[in-house]
Amino acid sequence: MNRIDRRDFLKSAALAGLAAGMPKYVCAKPQAAARADQMILLWMGGAMSQTETFDPKRCTPYSKGMDTKSLLCTFPTIDTAVDGIKFCQGVEKIAGVIDRGAVLRSFVAREYGAQAEDLQHIPLQFKWHSGYTTPSTVAAPYLGAVVSKLLGPLNPDIPAYIEIGRSEQTANVFLALQAFRTSGFLGSEYGSLMIPEASQAGAVIRSRLETGRFENRQKHFKELVEASPIAELGGSAQKESMLASLESAYRLMKSPAAKAFDLSAEAKLLYDTYNTGPFGRGCLLARRLVESGARFVEVHVDFENAKGWDTHDDGHNGQAKMKKTIDAPVAQLVRDLEKSGRLDRTLIVLATEFGRSTIGRGGSKAKTIESPKNYGLHGHFGAAASCLLFGGGVKKGTVYGKTNDEYPCETVENPVPIHDLHATIYQLLGISPRHSFEVEKRPFYVTKDGIGKPIQALVG
């Protein structure tokens, strides 16, 4: 009992009763149990162009003076492992595993209309992750923090929520606020363990102190605790909880699970397959962590203005470059988890804050394209974006949603707002989309106002 603090104890005392056969009335409505125990979110920060990746359109080669609005796509269409699903050139390896997953083509960050092209990355990244817009009256937690709070760690030695590849730098400018926290009102204990660079992950878990010193320090600390006069603070629940959590962190650093953080243990050939850059290495680390029992891992393509997926010029080459960094590692991640038998209980979601068009914010203002630098999808677009889902209860080989085949390729069938996408994810993880927390005496629902509806067509 001394492993948990008093507050948890009191909360759980009621639940212990529940487990011991007290009446059960916590159920909202009959709902399928969890289909996935673990989740990997592959975050395409910076707005991945949907029509250059997973939602191919008529491809028009570059010609000087071409009509800006006639340009929908700059890559030829390719076949995938599923008849009837086509992708764009450059994601052949992912195309080869889409029979293990589903493609959602109708994620709508903002409905088509006057403002569908006037979106900003950071607020919409926040909205994608939290389901809420800022500023909100309470600090809304991110998906990973909610999962961490509600499901807790799967392996007690591995923190429930781990983020890979979001640099501390970005963490600081996120929302232009210092010390921005993804755990929101849930409190930092449900926040993420941050690993800015996958290849350095070992350092997060490996002691900073030289061999022997770390253990020696711990040994003396324990002795000192024993030696402390009991009368000073005898029997304090707070004291017990502080000591217990320190002990569990020490256990983590010493546990076999800590090896999961070390990429150098990986075979060279496989390492090279993943090693397309920070994101690729992040996928490899995510795989290792999930195999060791991590609950929720997010791998970022870190967002930087006008870099990465944020192609405001030279879009054709920019998107081609980005596809190269994701194609092999994402496909390999799916294959590896399948091989180890974990894919069925691990949900992988690849997503981005919104899509792109030629014209929107930051895009072309000219009616014609006059230079190869202007050839590409350079503008922001809210009315369609693509998202992939694999494993953990996802209906295999599915396409959901449809976009227009003409400019601006907006969603024309089955639009999916963020609360429905979240509801789908939550349902697969066994969490009710209407689950609520109490904040300042008001209910706070995990999907906005509890309105999220799971997309059953995506559930296998």
Partner 1 sequence: MNTRTLLVTLVGLGWFAGLGSAADAPRLPQPVQRSVDFNREVRPILAHRCAECHGQEKAKGQLRLDSREASLKGGRGGPAFVVGKSADSELIRRVAGLVADQEHVMPPKGARLTAEEIGILRAWIDQGAKWNTASLIDRGPPPSVAPRQPAVPPGDGHPLDRILSVYFAKQGITPPALVSDAVFARRVYLDVIGLPPAPQALTAFLEDKSPDKREKLVALLLADGRGYTDHWITFWQDHLRDGKKDLGTTDVFTPVTDWLEHSLLQNKSFDRFASELVNPAENANLPAPVPERDDVPRVATPAVKRITDAAGFIAGLQAGLEVPRGDQAWQVQAVQNISQVFLGVQLKCATCHDSFLDRWSMAETWGMANIYAEKPLEMMRCEVPTGKKPAPRFMFPEVGNVDPTAPVKERRAQLAQLVASPKNGRFARTVVNRLWARLLGRGIVEPLDDMSVQPWNADLLDWLAADLVAQRYDLKKTLHRIFASRAYQLPAVEATPAETAYLFRGPLLRRLSAEQFVDALAAISGRNERAWRENGNRLLDVLGRPDRRTVATRRECQSSPLQALELLNGAELHTLLFEVRSQALQAEDVVLQVRQVFRHALSREPTEKEARTCASLLGKSPSAAGRSDLLWIIAMLPEFQLIR
* Footprint (CB under 8 A) of partner 1, residues 285-324: 305-306, 310, 312
Rounded Cα distance between 435 and 448, Å, is: 10
Among positions 388-407, residues that touch partner 1 (CB under 8 A) are none
Rounded Cα distance between 421 and 66, Å, is: 37
Question: CB-based burial of residue 44 (10 Å sphere; 0-12 exposed, 13-18 middle, 19+ buried)?
Answer: buried
Binding residue (CB under 8 A) for partner 1 from 59, 66, 156, 262: 156
Diameter of the chain measured on Cα atoms? 85
Q: How far is the CB of 305 from partner 1 (least distance, A)?
A: 5
Among positions 99-138, residues that touch partner 1 (CB under 8 A) are 110, 115, 119-124, 126-127, 133-138
Among positions 32-51, residues that touch partner 1 (CB under 8 A) are 33
Q: How far is the CB of 334 from partner 1 (least distance, A)?
A: 26
Binding residue (CB under 8 A) for partner 1 from 64, 67, 249, 371: 249
Q: Which residues pair with 443 in a beta bridge?
A: 438
Rounded Cα distance between 95 and 121, Å, is: 27
Q: Which residue has the tokens 């990429």?
A: 263
Instruction: Return the number of the residue (92 or 240) whose C-beta is nearest partner 1.
Output: 240
End-to-end distance of the chain based on CA atoms, in angstroms?
A: 40
Instruction: Return the number of the residue (208 or 365) whose C-beta is nearest partner 1.
Output: 208
SS3 376: coil
Q: Contact region for partner 1 (CB under 8 A) — 66-74, 239-247, 266-274, 366-374?
A: 239-247
Q: How far is the CB of 2 from partner 1 (least distance, A)?
A: 9
- Inter-residue contact 198 to 333 (CB < 8 Å): no
> What burial letters (b/e) apply to 291-319, b meaning 16+ CB within 10 Å?
bbbbbbbbbbbbbbeeebbbbbbbbbebb
- The reply to whether 261 sits near partner 1 by the rule CB under 8 A is no
Among positions 328-357, residues that touch partner 1 (CB under 8 A) are none
Side-chain-facing half-sphere of 413: CA atoms under 13 Å: 9
Give CA separation, 298 vs 163, 164, 283, 395, in Å. Answer: 5, 6, 9, 22
Q: Contact region for partner 1 (CB under 8 A) — 88-96, 178-186, 317-325, 385-393?
A: 178-186
- The reply to whether 193 sits near partner 1 by the rule CB under 8 A is yes
Beta pairing class for 161-164 and 296-301: parallel
Instruction: Return the number of the residue (156 or 277) whose C-beta is nearest partner 1.
Output: 156
Q: How far is the CB of 406 from partner 1 (least distance, A)?
A: 25
Instruction: Return the number of the residue (84 or 229) whose C-beta is nearest partner 1.
Output: 229
Q: How far is the CB of 319 from partner 1 (least distance, A)?
A: 16
- The reply to whether 27 sits near partner 1 by the rule CB under 8 A is yes
Q: How far is the CB of 17 from partner 1 (least distance, A)?
A: 8
- Positions of E strands within 268-408: 296-301, 346-351, 355-357, 368-369, 379-381, 385-391, 398-400, 402-403
Q: How far is the CB of 238 from partner 1 (least distance, A)?
A: 6
Instruction: Return the number of the residue (91 or 257) whose C-beta is nearest partner 1.
Output: 257
At residue 142, what is the residue type? Y
What mask, x for binding partner 1 by CB under 8 A, covers residues 410 to 449?
A: --------------------xxx-xxx---xxxx-x----
Instruction: Extract the tokens encoding 246.
Output: 């320190």
Question: Nearest-CA neighbor of 158 among 273, 37, 335?
Answer: 37
- The reply to whether 365 sits near partner 1 by the rule CB under 8 A is no
Is omega for the bond preceding 408 within 30 degrees of 0, making it cis?
yes
Instruction: Return the number of the residue (95 or 347) whose C-beta is nearest partner 1.
Output: 347
Q: How far is the CB of 265 from partner 1 (least distance, A)?
A: 20
Q: Which residues pair with 388 in a beta bridge?
A: 103, 350
Rounded Cα distance between 82 and 94, Å, is: 11
- The reply to whether 237 sits near partner 1 by the rule CB under 8 A is yes
- The reply to whether 172 sits near partner 1 by the rule CB under 8 A is yes
Binding residue (CB under 8 A) for partner 1 from 59, 81, 204, 412: 204
Instruction: Extract the tokens encoding 431.
Output: 């969490």
- The reply to whether 180 sits near partner 1 by the rule CB under 8 A is yes
What is the enclosing helix (H) or strand (E) of 37?
Answer: none
DSSP assigned state of 394: B
Among positions 216-235, residues that touch partner 1 (CB under 8 A) are 216-217, 220-221, 223-225, 227-229, 232-233
Binding residue (CB under 8 A) for partner 1 from 20, 208, 211, 268: 208
- The reply to whether 211 sits near partner 1 by the rule CB under 8 A is no
Instruction: Return the number of the residue (79 or 223) whose C-beta is nearest partner 1.
Output: 223
Q: How far is the CB of 91 from partner 1 (least distance, A)?
A: 25
